[in-house]
Chains A and B, each alone.
Chain A
Amino acid sequence: MNDRLGKGIKLTAESSYLTDTFYADLLRDRDALAEQGPCTDTALTAQCAALLHFEARLLDQKRYQDWLDLYTGDAIYWIPYDDTADVRSHINLVFDDRRRLEDRVLRQMSSHAHAVQPDPNYQHVVSNVEAWQMPDGHRRVLASQVAYEYRYGHEVHRYVYRTDHTLKQHENKWFIAVKRCTLINIDAAFEPPTLL
């Protein structure tokens, strides 16, 4: 066993929140911004942009526990194949609850994850941020992102995607409850990204 594995990563044992209601709400919320008008609250947008920038930097710096700490205990980290499909009857490139997201990070940190050895360098770029305070008290943040990954001996891989964050407040701090990344070339064959 690789003793570096999971060092400093806190593991959640149970996956206890993906009920029928949770799925139904997730799909309803996904579609809620379809006709959204412009974002007018510049202070809110700046605040949310700062969170997205911080998230991007944590990934670039490989501060994985700090990155996980941005997420709620009942988070969804999601890269759909079809942004209109029902996730209950379709697979996604990624559909992680908190536990599987931790597994993803654990694998990423393993020196036996051959597909990410030697350890790549990352650069996540955030742009076009728009944010809204929602009636249910949550915040929604849309952005355009580009992620670059470079591993020795390989080309730089580039991923172009739209992000949709749902932020929830807990004790005066905002956490990521849902992050959905829609890749522009999701219907093509490509090497999957490490972490968007």
Chain B
Amino acid sequence: MTTSTDFDWDYLIQRDRVHRDVYTDPQLFSIEMTKLYGGLWTYLCHESEIPEPGSFRRAKLGLREVIVSRGKDGDIHALFNRCAHRAAAVCMHPSGSASRFVCPYHGWTYGLNGDLLAVPYADGYGEDFDKSTRHLPRVPRVKSFHGFIFGTLNEAMPELEDYLGLAGDVLKEFINRAPSGKLSLNAGAYRSSYTGNWKLAWDNAADMYHVFFAHRSLVDITRARNPGGDTGATYAARPDESPIYSYYLGQGHTYLHHRPGMGPSIFERARPAPGMEIGATALRESMGSEAAADLLERVPGQGMNLNIFPNLMIIASQIQVVEPVSVDRTQLTWYATTLSDAPAQANVLRMRIAEDFPNFGEVDDLEMFERCWQGLQVPEAPWVDYSRGNHIPLADITQSNGAQKAPGTHEHALRGYLDAYKDYMQTDMTLTAA
């Protein structure tokens, strides 16, 4: 079996370039699917998706199928979707409500916490048959961070809050942009997929360099609507000097902060969405203009793209989850969020605005990932360049809290996450199900 010591990591990942094997090697992918997905704290789902006792939702921990359930007493369990008997998946519904999970193969029956409750024709087993050891295998460490549920199989991982570190502060800021700090993820999800490695999405997540090229069609249609307006022309002329920043936050987490470059109003800057004008007018009439203005600022994306390694991204008002399928296939699921404590009219606008970018922007990102994947099939040209801004000493972009901050067009955040990646891949980890 290939292990991580079989790879020459300092050759594969250098300061300003990365070798194609990091994207294309199936053995390396297998190691990622255990060490990163499951070895690190990995996002599973949001508490609002399993609101009450009996609620469950299937999720992925890398390639492992997990059921996240809420037990009778309200506590959260992450169970492998795998019968303790002959390994059949016990749950095929994506989400729902249940009082127990019954394996369809031989009828073994489990409680919401995974305990084995009953085995048909139990007298066929000997006296030493112990039901307590034959529960659904569990993810041993499951923790919620302000509603976001993560799990790890690695007893040596630090506490979730410490792993999130600065990214946790940004995540809290994102959550607190919602009135009363309450978000709900029951508004549907975009499910897209592409041919290519999952890290291509990760490379793109803290990249403002691609915007005026990959998303040129979106820029064009916005200009067609607003021929006299700026629509990003100032940014396009001098992107390195624009107040849009990318951050490397440590532990592989990256962050794009657009808000300083978005002008006085995020809402006014949002692209036209169905019903936007009359929806805003109705809110102003019902709430008064000051309260409506404050709420409307919270409706679209918050100019914060936060990427929590290895699989959670906050993009605009949505939660994107990276789900690797194989070394060359990746699924991206975008969960829309609603503001729990806002008037319904505000959420209508939030939904209509959330529908814009996946339709008119994300499609071109996916196309870029697929083109990178095509290009990575040339063994004789193995290097991927991410040297933009590498001439600037790290000390010059390091903040007092340890974050590295540079123009959004620099590639330092990629260098940062790949550094962390390289460390994780070389760390000995013992992963166990409980």
Provide the residues of chain A in CB contact with B223, threshold 8 Å: 1
The segment out of A33-41, A99-107, A125-133 that lies at the interface is A99-107
A94 contacts the other chain (CB 8 A): yes
Given that A15-B277, A189-B333 are known contacts, is A94 also in contact with B359, CB under 8 Å in the complex? yes
B278 contacts the other chain (CB 8 A): yes
In whole angstroms, what is the CA distance A2 to B212 when docked? 13
B364 contacts the other chain (CB 8 A): yes
B270 contacts the other chain (CB 8 A): no
Provide the residues of chain A in CB contact with B277, threshold 8 Å: 14-16
B348 contacts the other chain (CB 8 A): yes
A149 contacts the other chain (CB 8 A): no
**Is B221 touching A82 in the complex (CB atoms < 8 A)?**
no
Given that A15-B272, A114-B217 are known contacts, is A89 also in contact with B225, CB under 8 Å in the complex? no
- Contact size class for A? 35 or more
B388 contacts the other chain (CB 8 A): no
Given that A15-B272, A15-B277, A18-B278 are known contacts, is A92 also in contact with B188, CB under 8 Å in the complex? yes
**Is A89 touching B348 in the complex (CB atoms < 8 A)?**
yes
Provide the residues of chain B in CB contact with A135, threshold 8 Å: none
- Contact size class for B? 35 or more
The 0/1 profile, CB within 8 Å of B marked 1, for residues 164-191 of chain A is 0000000000000000000000011111
**Is A191 touching B193 in the complex (CB atoms < 8 A)?**
yes
| A13 to B, closest residue via Cβ | B225
Give, as a whole number of angstroms, the nearest-CB distance from B116 to chain A: 31
The 0/1 profile, CB within 8 Å of B marked 1, for residues 84-99 of chain A is 0101111111111101
A19 contacts the other chain (CB 8 A): yes
| B227 to A, closest residue via Cβ | A1
In whole angstroms, what is the CA distance A187 to B281 when docked? 34
Give, as a whole number of angstroms, the nearest-CB distance from A96 to chain B: 7
| B351 to A, closest residue via Cβ | A91
**Is A192 touching B355 in the complex (CB atoms < 8 A)?**
no
| B371 to A, closest residue via Cβ | A114
In whole angstroms, what is the CA distance A99 to B189 when docked? 23
Q: Which of B84-111 contact A (CB under 8 A)?
A: 94
**Is B275 touching A15 in the complex (CB atoms < 8 A)?**
yes
Residue of A91, A97, A110 most packed against chain B (CB within 10 A): A91
| B193 to A, closest residue via Cβ | A189
**Is A113 touching B351 in the complex (CB atoms < 8 A)?**
no
B276 contacts the other chain (CB 8 A): yes
| A113 to B, closest residue via Cβ | B217
Q: Which of A85, A91, A113 touches B355 (beta carbons < 8 Å)? A: A91
**Is A88 touching B348 in the complex (CB atoms < 8 A)?**
yes
Provide the residues of chain A in CB contact with B275, threshold 8 Å: 15, 17-19, 97
Q: Which of A89, A112, A115 touches B363 (beta carbons < 8 Å)? A: A115
A6 contacts the other chain (CB 8 A): yes
The 0/1 profile, CB within 8 Å of A marked 1, for residues 178-220 of chain B is 0000000001111111000000000000000000001011101
Provide the residues of chain B in CB contact with A110, threshold 8 Å: 216-217, 220-221
**Is B224 touching A91 in the complex (CB atoms < 8 A)?**
no
In whole angstroms, what is the CA distance A168 to B214 when docked? 39
B172 contacts the other chain (CB 8 A): no
Given that A16-B277, A95-B355 are known contacts, is A189 also in contact with B224, CB under 8 Å in the complex? no
Given that A88-B348, A192-B359 are known contacts, is A95 also in contact with B192, CB under 8 Å in the complex? no
Give, as a whole number of angstroms, the nearest-CB distance from B342 to chain A: 11
In whole angstroms, what is the CA distance A192 to B355 when docked? 13
**Is A114 touching B214 in the complex (CB atoms < 8 A)?**
yes
Q: Which label, helix, strand, loop or mixed, suits the secondary structure of the B interface?
A: helix
B273 contacts the other chain (CB 8 A): yes
In whole angstroms, what is the CA distance A192 to B357 when docked? 13
Q: Which label, helix, strand, loop or mixed, suits the secondary structure of the A interface?
A: loop
Residue of B277, B347, B351 most packed against chain A (CB within 10 A): B351
**Is B354 touching A91 in the complex (CB atoms < 8 A)?**
yes
**Is A112 touching B367 in the complex (CB atoms < 8 A)?**
no
**Is A99 touching B274 in the complex (CB atoms < 8 A)?**
yes
Q: Which of B325-377 contact A (CB under 8 A)?
A: 331-333, 336, 338, 344-345, 347-348, 351-352, 354-356, 359-360, 363-364, 366-368, 371
A44 contacts the other chain (CB 8 A): no
A11 contacts the other chain (CB 8 A): yes
**Is B363 touching A192 in the complex (CB atoms < 8 A)?**
yes
Q: Which of B278-296 contact A (CB under 8 A)?
A: 278-279, 282
In whole angstroms, what is the CA distance A189 to B333 when docked? 8
In whole angstroms, what is the CA distance A19 to B279 when docked? 7
Provide the residues of chain B in CB contact with A82, threshold 8 Å: 188
A143 contacts the other chain (CB 8 A): no
A54 contacts the other chain (CB 8 A): no
**Is B225 touching A189 in the complex (CB atoms < 8 A)?**
no
A23 contacts the other chain (CB 8 A): yes
Give, as a whole number of angstroms, the nearest-CB distance from B222 to chain A: 9
**Is A5 touching B220 in the complex (CB atoms < 8 A)?**
yes
| A194 to B, closest residue via Cβ | B363
| A112 to B, closest residue via Cβ | B216
Provide the residues of chain B in CB contact with A159, threshold 8 Å: none
Q: Which of A17, A96, A112, A190 touches B220 (beta carbons < 8 Å)? A: A112
In whole angstroms, what is the CA distance A23 to B214 when docked? 34
Provide the residues of chain A in CB contact with B359, threshold 8 Å: 94, 104, 192
Provide the residues of chain A in CB contact with B224, threshold 8 Å: 5-6, 11, 106
15 A-B contacts, Cβ less than 8 Å apart?
A: A14-B277, A15-B275, A19-B275, A19-B278, A20-B282, A85-B188, A89-B187, A91-B336, A92-B355, A110-B217, A112-B217, A113-B217, A114-B214, A114-B364, A192-B359
Sort A-B residue pairs by CB-CB distance and give the 10 closest, nearest first: A18-B275, A112-B216, A97-B274, A189-B191, A113-B217, A189-B193, A115-B367, A115-B363, A110-B217, A91-B336
Interface contacts beyond A19-B275, A190-B192: sample of 11 additional A-B pairs, CB < 8 Å, sorted by A: A17-B275, A18-B278, A88-B348, A91-B189, A92-B355, A99-B272, A99-B274, A103-B225, A107-B221, A110-B217, A189-B332
